[in-house]
Amino acid sequence: MHAAHEPDDDPDGSGQRRFDELIAADSRIEPSDWMPAAYRKTLVRQISQHANSEIIGMQPEGNWITRAPSLKRKAILMAKVQDEAGHGLYLYSAAQTLGTDRDTMFEHLITGKAKYSSIFNYTTPTWADMGSIGWLVDGAAICNQVPLCRASYGPYGRAMVRICKEESFHQRQGFEILLELMRGTPAQREMAQESVNRWYAPALMMFGPPDADSPNSQQSMAWKIKRFSNDELRQRFVDMLVPQAEILGVTLPDPDLKWNQERGHYDFGELDWNEFTEVLAGRGPANAIRVSRRRAAHENGEWVREAARAYADKQASLAAAQAPTHEWMAS
Amino acid sequence: MHAAHEPDDDPDGSGQRRFDELIAADSRIEPSDWMPAAYRKTLVRQISQHANSEIIGMQPEGNWITRAPSLKRKAILMAKVQDEAGHGLYLYSAAQTLGTDRDTMFEHLITGKAKYSSIFNYTTPTWADMGSIGWLVDGAAICNQVPLCRASYGPYGRAMVRICKEESFHQRQGFEILLELMRGTPAQREMAQESVNRWYAPALMMFGPPDADSPNSQQSMAWKIKRFSNDELRQRFVDMLVPQAEILGVTLPDPDLKWNQERGHYDFGELDWNEFTEVLAGRGPANAIRVSRRRAAHENGEWVREAARAYADKQASLAAAQAPTHEWMAS
Amino acid sequence: SDAVARYALGLGDDALVLAQRLGEWVTNAPELEEDVALSNIALDLLGHARSLLTYAGSAWGQSEDDLAYFRDEPQFVNRQLFEQPNGDFAQTIARQLIASAYFIGLYRALSASPDPMLSGIAAKALKEVDYHLDHSAQWLLRLGQGTAESHRRMQRGLDTMWVFSDELFSDDSLPTGQDAAALAGIAVTPSSLREGFDALVPRLITEAGLTVPSAPYARGGGRLGVHTEYLGPLLAEMQVLARVHPGASW
Amino acid sequence: SDAVARYALGLGDDALVLAQRLGEWVTNAPELEEDVALSNIALDLLGHARSLLTYAGSAWGQSEDDLAYFRDEPQFVNRQLFEQPNGDFAQTIARQLIASAYFIGLYRALSASPDPMLSGIAAKALKEVDYHLDHSAQWLLRLGQGTAESHRRMQRGLDTMWVFSDELFSDDSLPTGQDAAALAGIAVTPSSLREGFDALVPRLITEAGLTVPSAPYARGGGRLGVHTEYLGPLLAEMQVLARVHPGASW
């Protein structure tokens, strides 16, 4: 366990100076470096939220593993959900380097204290949602995360490098699911379009509120955790989506969406931020089942973890009893 | 609870004489009457086995409740399985009048000590099996049970009257399921025939081994518990089935089946009694899951029953504490 | 009219989906008496569902089975409470308590509807759901006051199901314009049932020594075809055979 | 040949049905690491199933999906062990222990088959099932020697699954006559695998402080299309979407 550095740890200010230099030089902060308490706190919150999102994000897709309509898709989907569990574990490890242990973070998740990405409070009533999540949700995640590969905190940046690779793979798989549907029967095409209609706006809101309403972003950018503002990332995402939607043949559900020659970007309509706030406040379509489902799994598994602990303890005391006496005790 | 009469209870033989008179006069033996220990034991075994059969018999049909192909059939099937639970409870009550308590009988069932009808060790892979069970299994049960309405032990005979009424209702429902299938699509007709092929012989074996191999039957008939021999009942069943099969348009899977003008009965082929013995010995298709499933339900419900007992105890002691003092204590 | 049919469809789906869930208990109940009791309740609900779906379908030339077996998840308009999984016995009792209390208010009000079909169905159902509430309330007491474990499970069951109670009283699916006029007076406004529910259920919970949950409510939207992920597999199982043999009669 | 295809179909169904069962654990495992481990195993098995079904189907002009999604229960020829429900984690581990030990023997023998497709699939699978056995054996130890509760559950899990172990070594589905000749030397005779299994699994069970069950074996017949009642609902869920859209490509 890593002990937290408090301001007291840096009486002469040398830690802060070194930290500022590293940030200014675009270098990495490593676990053993001094860092401001607020920087640490921001990172723990962000990384553990990200981990929680991966874990909760398993559910909307896990919903279709048993019903995937072809064995190939079943295998891809299962692997994807497995990747998400892996990302969760990987990110928890990164957060642990900041002195917060995994059990605490997980406990905060299943008691509802910790947040996770609001997008996973939407549900997946149709198979096409496996496509939309990959294409739109993972797509937005990538726009968000690629800059995070250069985040100033070393373990986080490195975790993101690995995660981004897999995410871009996931996005392409989602795109392919939708493409197959759009080239399929009328019922399949309708399924794809209906799903895109539901996921488009929530995906755009994944970048967070407009810059004007996002006061914390400023500090994160100064610390080089965040590299671009919410609105910049959102614009980048929309610009990326439009040509892909054309290839798919799906209509993005925004009548105001059009190319702005002057800006060199697509204009798009106002988003329903009231919806965003509602979901964030726990009143999304699936908030009620997401955490309780993971908590139920955790509680049902308590006897298993207890057995594993008991067994490990027994093995440890057995090993201790059988260990040869240390030399300094022998002589 | 009823204390068991032992031979010691009848030193002057008056109990035995009265019992013999009642049997000879075709009257009923009632719980308070003296009866031979072997008569009591035979009845307890037979009635509790019958109860167990009803309870285990819920499973092969319960298997299709959630998948019944029309709401009407779902309702009928659910009501039927419910009737079976009711029969089980009703028969346990009859057996309890002989001094064996329900918990013991149920315990014997879920620990595998007690028997139940072998027929329920067959499985129900298709919907048509709901028809075959009703038509063939309930049909055979009725042939067996109608004479039992006159069984010499009063509570058993009366239980059978009620049960037979419901069983004949169930048999007609099974017949209707098959009829609907046989009037349906080719796939439905094939489903019905394939199912009848599987259930026909096991249903015939429900009457037990041939008379020559059924030594216990003799005593049961002398006691007027049983009224007809296994082979008599089996013949009666086959004679009943043939014209019904013609109406259905299904083929009974027995090449030797034909009308014998001389006997005035249908002749039928040899049954595979080795199969019967195998299933009886626990090596039927579903022996492995039947008891373990009911046991699992029982074990999973232990905390519920414990709560109900604890609550009842609390209520009882509350009532006792609040009860007015008895008069004889007051003066 | 179409508006009345759509109203009946929602009520029918509620009953159908809950009956299907309760049907999963058969042969798995904690004791034989509960196998009987739960299938009794399931049968009653299935009866309500059949009447309501038949009535709804009559406006569209569809049978109860067309509606039950050949609609996909987004076309089902049951409230989300009813599709929630059984969980343990306490969770089922919690769902049943909320459902039965709601049904009592609903069918009492609906039995005064000027639509003779709806009032007839409601009057008959009312007697049955009264018994259903009794069954749940008895178990609520036994589990709430039984053992430490049963108390813990019953509270957890309530916590899990309570979040879906608010949706029952949402007017989110009430039609507007001409349809609203067609339905006015005929249908029961869901929000009008909240007062009766609030006067009854929290009291029962408290009397059982349990705590009325305070977690935020689920958003709902079941009447608009929005469901939790538990409905899909339920429908897969329910509809499988009928869909493998389209057009067949059973 | 048709005989080889039918042989591959049986092995493929075993792997497919078990993968489907393990897939039900995803998001429900006792800890995240087990979500990963169980889906890893499921993925491996699904891979085996796809290779085997593709190979089987090539003899009949059918795809893996034709075989997986458009056969009914009596046409599935998996052994019954694989369709048994997950139960609690101990029951899943018991099933997995028996299955993995069986697979190791099978794929070891089959990797020497003169049929290059079968030997290739087997050689690749062998490495994977080796890891699967390791996973189950570890948990067998932990649960057998962990707490009183885990010991009780693990024993119950073994008792429940053990009755289905005998079927794995039954030669009931070996073809006769000309087909037998076509298969001779190519397929592994199930009964030849019993010795290796018996030398391994009872020892593992005993080392974990548990008792090798002695209840009578189930009759089996899975290879002949005879199944316990757990397979039907599994297939209903697995096949639902594909069947609602026959002929569609995904």
Which residue of A lies nearest to D208 if distances are taken between CA atoms?
A: A311
Query: Once rounded to an integer, what is the mean pLDDT over residues D108-137?
Result: 97
Distance CA D4, CA D1 (A): 5
CA distance to partner chain D, nearest, from residue B140 (Å): 23
Q: Hey, is the C-beta of A283 within 8 angstroms of any chain C C-beta?
A: yes
Contacts of A290 in chain C (CB under 8 A): none
Reply yes or no on whether the pLDDT at D88 is more than 50. yes
| Domain architecture of chain A: domains with CATH | 36-315 (1.20.1260.10)
Give the H/E segment covering residue A267. strand A265-267
Give C156-188 pLDDT, tens digit per residue: 999 999 999 999 999 998 888 888 888 888 999
For position C114, what pLDDT does the model report? 96
CB–CB of B287 and D219 under 8 A?
yes
pLDDT (0 to 100) of residue A221: 83
Q: Which residues in chain D have Cβ-Cβ distances shorter than 8 Å to B284?
A: 219
Read off φ and ψ for residue D164, nearest 5 degrees. -95, 5
Rounded to whole angstroms, the Cα distance separating C44 from C61 reads 25
The region of weakest confidence among B137-151, C190-204, D136-150 is B137-151
Q: Quote the crossing angle between the two packed helices C2-23 and C89-110, to the nearest 10°.
A: 150
HSE, CB side, 13 Å, CA atoms: give it for residue A241: 34
Q: Are strands A265-267 and A258-260 parallel, antiparallel or unpaired?
A: antiparallel
Instruction: Report the relative pairing of strands A265-267 and B258-260 from DSSP bridges.
Output: unpaired
List the one residue out of A133, A156, A155, A147 whose CA is nearest residue A84: A133
- What is the structure's pLDDT at A69? 97
Torsion on CA atoms D233, D235, D236, D241, rounded to nearest 10: 150
Beta carbons of A292 and C160 less than 8 Å apart: yes
φ, ψ of residue C229 to 5 degrees: the values are -75, 5
C15, C46 Cβ separation under 8 angstroms = yes
Q: Please give the average per-residue pLDDT across C95-104, as a whole number.
A: 98
Alpha helix (H) residue ranges in chain A: 14-24, 37-62, 71-96, 102-110, 128-132, 139-145, 154-182, 186-205, 215-222, 230-248, 273-278, 287-300, 302-322, 327-330
CB-based contact D219 B123, cutoff 8 Å: no
Q: How far apart are CA C69 and CA C52, in angstroms?
A: 15
Over the stretch B46-70, which tens digit does the pLDDT of each residue have?
999 999 999 999 999 999 999 999 9
Choose from D62, D69, D142 for mutation: most chain A CBs within 10 A: D142
Phi, psi for B266 (deg, rounded to 5): -85, 135
Q: Does C42 touch chain B (CB under 8 A)?
A: yes
Q: Are B146 and B17 in contact (CB under 8 A)?
A: no
D205, pLDDT greater than 90: yes
CA angle C193, C160, C33 (to 5 degrees): 85
Q: Which residue has the tokens 């399949």?
A: A188
Q: Is the pLDDT of residue B233 over 60?
A: yes
Task: Choose among C233, C237, C243: nearest Cβ to D244.
Answer: C243
Looking at chain C, which residue has its C-alpha nearest residue A112? Answer: C215
The number of angstroms, rounded, from the C-alpha of B249 to the middle of its chain's C-alpha atoms is: 29
Q: Provide the pLDDT for residue A6.
A: 53
pLDDT at B1: 39
The pLDDT tens digits of the residues spanning B210-228 come to 988 887 778 888 888 888 8
Q: Which of A295, A301, A323, A204 is nearest to A252 (CA)?
A: A204
Determine the Cα–Cα distance for residues C123 and C165; give it in Å rounded to an integer: 23
C187 burial via Cβ count (<10 Å: 0-12, 13-18, 19+): buried
Which chain D residues contact residue A90 at CB under 8 A?
A: none
pLDDT tens digits, D64-77: 999 999 999 999 99
* pLDDT at B82 > cutoff 80: yes
Per-residue pLDDT tens digits for A25-82: 989 999 999 999 999 999 999 999 999 999 999 999 999 999 999 999 999 999 999 9
What is the distance between the alpha carbons of residues C231 and D146, in angstroms, rounded to a whole number? 37
Chain C partners of D237 at a C-beta cutoff of 8 Å?
233, 236-237
Q: With cut-offs at 50, 70 and 90, classify the pLDDT of residue B326.
A: low
The single residue listed with the structure tokens 């009535």 is C55
DSSP string, B21-60: HHHHTT--B-TTS---HHHHHHHHHHHHHHHHHHHHTHHH
Given a contact cutoff of 8 angstroms between Cβ atoms, the answer to whether D143 and D154 are in contact is yes
Of D51, D192, D187, which Cα lies nearest the Cα of D120? Answer: D51
How far apart, in whole angstroms, are the C-alpha atoms of residue D51 and residue D65? 12
Q: Which of D71, D72, D88, D237 to mutate to probe the C interface, most C CBs <10 Å? A: D237
Please name the residues between 234 and 273 in chain A that touch chain D, using a CB distance below 8 Å.
Answer: none
A256/C72 Cα distance (integer angstroms): 32
Which ranges of B58-185 does DSSP label H, i.e. alpha helix? 58-62, 71-96, 102-110, 128-132, 139-145, 154-182
Q: Which helix (H) or strand (E) holds A265?
A: strand A265-267
Half-sphere exposure of B18 (CA within 13 A, CB side): 12
Using DSSP's 3-state secondary structure scheme, residue B266 falls into strand
* Half-sphere exposure (Cβ direction) of A91: Cα atoms closer than 13 Å: 29
CB atoms within 10 A of CB C10: 20
φ and ψ of C188, to 5 deg: -95, 130
In whole angstroms, give the CA distance from residue B254 to residue B271.
10
Residues C41-99 pLDDT 10s: 999 999 999 999 999 999 999 999 999 999 999 999 999 999 999 999 999 999 999 99
A 10 A CB-CB count for A194 gives 17
Q: State which residues of chain A have pLDDT below 50.
A: 1-5, 330-331
DSSP-derived pairing of the beta strands A258-260 and B265-267: unpaired
**Confidence at residue B327, expressed as pLDDT on a 0 to 100 scale:** 54
Longest C-alpha distance within chain D, in Å? 55
CA–CA distance, B281 with B9 (Å, rounded to integer): 37
Which helix (H) or strand (E) segment holds residue B259: the answer is: strand B258-260
Contact status of D218 with chain B (Cβ, < 8 Å): yes
Q: What is the pLDDT of residue A330?
A: 46
- Helix (H, G, I), strand (E, B), or coil: what is residue A122? coil
**D165 in Cβ contact with D98 (< 8 Å):** yes
Element (H, E) at A259: strand A258-260
Q: What is the DSSP string of D112-133?
A: T-S-HHHHHHHHHHHHHHHHHH
Binding partners of C (≥3 Cβ pairs within 8 A): A, B, D
> Could you tell me which of B137, B205, B119 has the C-alpha nearest to residue B175?
B137
Could you say which DSSP state residue B258 is in?
E
Angle at B39 between CA B37 and CA B41, to 5 degrees: 70
Look at residue B6 in the predicted model and tell me its pLDDT: 53
- Give the closest residue to B184 by CA, choosing from B265, B127, B236: B127
The answer to whether B85 and C35 are in contact (CB under 8 A) is yes
Q: Record the pTM.
A: 0.89
The minimum CA-CA distance between C240 and chain B, rounded to whole Å, is: 7
Measured in whole angstroms, the distance separating CA A61 from the mean position of its chain's CA atoms is 14
Structure tokens belonging to residue D183: 């298969």
CB C151 within 8 A of CB C173: no
Q: No. of H helices and E strands in chain C?
A: 9, 0
